[in-house]
């Protein structure tokens, strides 16, 4: 799932970039560090934050640790809420305009 709403949900630019890259495909820390203007330890630290927030998850693959978007995480919840409020507020706007005419 390409979750553009979840990507927009992150306020911190480096973490947002990490989530965008992982949205394209799962990657190891080294691959992410090569794509970003920050050090590998910094990428690791950001990944830890994202993992704690259930935005990304990791799995061991041989000696490497591969990171990917957590399909059950906060990004999903936020995207769901975003859609949910769009729907609810559209209903609200209709109701307010109907009331006004009556």
Burial class (CB in 10 A: 0-12, 13-18, 19+), 64: middle
* Nearest CB to other proteins, comparing residues 54 and 64: 54
**CB 84 to other proteins: min, Å:** 7
The single residue listed with the structure tokens 């979840």 is 6
**Which part of the chain contacts other proteins (CB under 8 A), choosing from 20-28, 33-41, 60-68, 78-86?**
78-86
Six token digits for residue 56 = 């990304």
Angstrom distance (rounded) from CA 79 to CA 71: 12
* Nearest CB to other proteins, comparing residues 48 and 61: 48
**Which part of the chain contacts other proteins (CB under 8 A), choosing from 8-16, 22-30, 32-40, 60-68?**
8-16
Angstrom distance (rounded) from CA 29 to CA 21: 11
59 counts as binding other proteins under rule CB under 8 A = no
Six token digits for residue 61 = 């693959």
User: Applying CB under 8 A, which residues contact other proteins?
Assistant: 1, 8-12, 15, 45, 48-50, 52-55, 72-74, 76-89, 91-97, 99-100
């Amino acid at each position: 799932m390409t979750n553009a709403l979840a990507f927009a949900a992150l306020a911190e630019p480096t973490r947002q970039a990490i989530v965008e890259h992982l949205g394209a495909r799962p990657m190891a820390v080294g691959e992410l560090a090569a794509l970003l203007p920050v050090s590998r330890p910094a990428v690791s630290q950001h990944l830890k934050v994202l993992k704690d927030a259930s935005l990304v998850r990791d799995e061991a693959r041989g000696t490497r640790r591969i990171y990917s978007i957590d399909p059950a995480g906060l990004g999903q919840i936020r995207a769901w809420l975003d859609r949910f409020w769009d729907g609810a507020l559209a209903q609200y706007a209709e109701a307010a305009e109907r009331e006004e005419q009556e």
